[in-house]
Amino acid sequence: PPGSTAQVFAPGLISDTRPKTWEAFGTFSGDGNTFCYHRVEGVFVSEHFEQGWTRPERIGIIKRYHPSVWSPCLSADANSIYFTRAMLKPVARRNLYRCNRTAHQWDRPQCLEPPISSSLPEITCSVAANNTLYFGSGRTRPPGSKSRSIIWAASFLGTTWSQANHVALDHPRAGDPGIAPDESFMVFTAKDLPGGYGERDIYLTLHLPDGTWSKPQNLGPRINSTYIEHGPRISHDKKYLFFTRSNGWDPRKYSADIYWVELKEYLREAKAR
């Protein structure tokens, strides 16, 4: 395991550190026995059994029906993969999808209907242990809101999700959320800000008892770099942050690796403020 300085996750097994290779959006299941991530070829899953970890297997049904997948995220029970997909017709946008596991295979992905998906782009997503969805969206913020955050959250109630609510943060351009399993804190990314380290940095905010969020803190140069940090995910024991570091957005042209880092020191600093 890493310390408080980010390291490449599983080099040679998951992360291929050679130029123009792409691994991103790494997510563990709640029991730590399933790992899901993204490559140029699609969404892959590796599982741990008594004999060890299986060879990463591509979820073919996702690639077949949704070639432009982005931001896959594994549910805590490892039975669902959430992702966004770019659509060009009838209008250019991204919607949120879910692919469910059956006893023998993965089902065809289904678009999450309103109030989750909308006529505006849903960009990235992560999911809490109770299936509450946190996602970036271009939808209009509530009247009178001073927050420029594009993060929204929708609670899971029985068999579907409630109306999405805007997550107000004291931070401009907050997006790309990674929620802790118990929703006690969140990491997110933002770009082009004074004092930042690169094109997009990772920040941390605490969920306060009154329901608001603490002033976000930049996680600093041991995590952020001159490159693009994005796709943050929190392990279900809340010990580790997984994220992607890349030198460009197009997986066909640029490189990306999955990193991980211990969160204890950063959480302690945030709580002391």
Nearest to 46 by CA among 69, 64, 23, 63: 23
**Distance in angstroms (rounded) separating the CA atoms of residues 53 and 28:** 13
For 52-80, the pLDDT digits (tens) are 999 999 999 998 878 789 999 999 999 99
Nearest to 172 by CA among 142, 198, 151, 156: 151
CB 245 within 8 A of CB 257: yes
Total-model pTM: 0.93
* Mean pLDDT of the 147-152 span: 92
Contacts of 226 (CB under 8 A, 6+ apart): 197, 198, 199
Strand partners, 85: 69, 95
For the chain, what's the residue count?
Answer: 273
* Percentage of the residues of the chain whose pLDDT score is greater than 90: 72
Contacts of 123 (CB under 8 A, 6+ apart): 70, 71, 84, 94, 135, 136, 137, 138, 150, 175, 176
For 76-128, the pLDDT digits (tens) are 999 999 998 865 454 445 789 999 999 889 999 998 888 887 777 788 899 99
